[in-house]
Structure 1
Amino acid sequence: MSQIDEIDDQILQALQKDSRISNADLAEKVGLSASSCWRRVRALEETGVIEGYGVRINDAKRGLGFKAIVHVQLTRHDPEQLTAFIRAVKHREEVRACHATTGQADYHLHIACADIDAYNRFLEQFLFRIPAVASAQTNVILRSVKG
């Protein structure tokens, strides 16, 4: 798929709002036949535009009431240290997302924990024990507006 046209964009927007929408309802929403809509969705999946489908979870109802964005600066950027850091954060349940960015911090982690004590354990027993981590600055999430 070389380009996303207006109908593909409508399909993507509808699926982002409700990935469980039936193909028949999706087709009606974007003005296509069910078979044509199915082919377009399949093409979007096969070309990697649609990477997967997911579910949104209410963290507070799961007992994860503490959320933060952690800005991590690394001491070293050699490939071995970077690989070790990335491997470590990928396997931690508290880390919901990890982004390498430009700017003052090298990585930004989205964290969800039960409470401040659990977050402190995450820092002391995990993050600060990774050799490449020089420092971490925390911004506590007060409320989410979108996402």
Structure 2
Amino acid sequence: MGKALDQIDRKILKELAADGRITSGQLAERVGLSASPCWQRVRRLEEEGYIRGYAALLDQTKLGLTETVLIEVTLEKHDDDILRKFGEAMASYPEVLEAYLTTGEYDYFIKVAVDGTAGYEEFLRKKLYKVPGIRHSRSVFALKCLKQKPFYVPQN
């Protein structure tokens, strides 16, 4: 890693996370820099991995994915091969939005976007239940998203 983040770096990260389409000039103005030093900082933040990429936030419902399902999964055992296969499977399924290895009663927490209960049943039958090594899963449907924020930039 390069130099530590200062307050201007943090402002740049917040602005870009809030609006990835902001122009260099607008960004420089919002963080109180001229265009060239601002651009240099953005490039450094990209090179150092603070900025991993840029993406559009899409409306899942308008795309026909009306339900978000949160799934907890327990594996039969925790050998390297089972863990690798499970991780590869989750990474390959486009409807899996997030997948976390967790502590506690369950081994994994997965967030999936599906088209209703029929879409979820299809995901279970054709994908999740075909992954080797799953002992148990428990699912809940999200009724309403109270907060969705793709980033958090600590103040110091």
How would you bin the TM-score normalised by the shorter chain? over 0.9
TM-score normalised to the size of structure 2?
Answer: 0.91
Alignment length (residue pairs): 147
Look up the match of 2:41.
40
Q: CA deviation at 1:63?
A: 0.5
1:77-100 deviations in Å (ceiling 9; x for gaps): 111111111111111121111111
| CA distance, structure 2, for counterparts of residue 51 and residue 31 of structure 1 | 23
For residue 61 of structure 1, give the secondary structure of its aligned residue in structure 2: coil
Range that drifts further, 57-66 or 94-103: 94-103
| CA distance, structure 1, for counterparts of residue 55 and residue 139 of structure 2 | 27
1:28 aligns with 2:13: no
CA RMSD after TM alignment: 1.0
Percent sequence identity is: 37
Flag as ranges the 4+ runs of structure 1 deviating above 3 A.
none
Unaligned segments of structure 2, at least 5 residues = 149-156
Show the 5 A alignment for 1:13-92. 13-92=14-93
1:20-63 deviations in Å (ceiling 9; x for gaps): 10010000000000001000000000000111111111011000
Q: CA deviation at 1:129?
A: 2.0
| CA distance, structure 2, for counterparts of residue 83 and residue 38 of structure 1 | 39
Give the AA of the match of 2:137. A
The answer to which structure, 1 or 2, has the higher relative contact order (CA under 8 A, 6+ apart) is 2
1:73-122 deviations in Å (ceiling 9; x for gaps): 11111111111111111111211111111111111111001110110121
Look up the match of 2:128.
127
1:93 aligns with 2:94: yes
| CA distance, structure 1, for counterparts of residue 115 and residue 122 of structure 2 | 11
| CA distance, structure 1, for counterparts of residue 94 and residue 52 of structure 2 | 21
Look up the match of 2:153.
none
| CA distance, structure 2, for counterparts of residue 54 and residue 101 of structure 1 | 26
TM-score normalised to the size of structure 1?
Answer: 0.96
Unaligned segments of structure 1, at least 5 residues = none
| CA distance, structure 2, for counterparts of residue 41 and residue 145 of structure 1 | 31
Q: CA deviation at 1:145?
A: 2.0
Q: CA deviation at 1:15?
A: 0.7
Look up the match of 1:9.
10
Q: CA deviation at 1:142?
A: 1.1
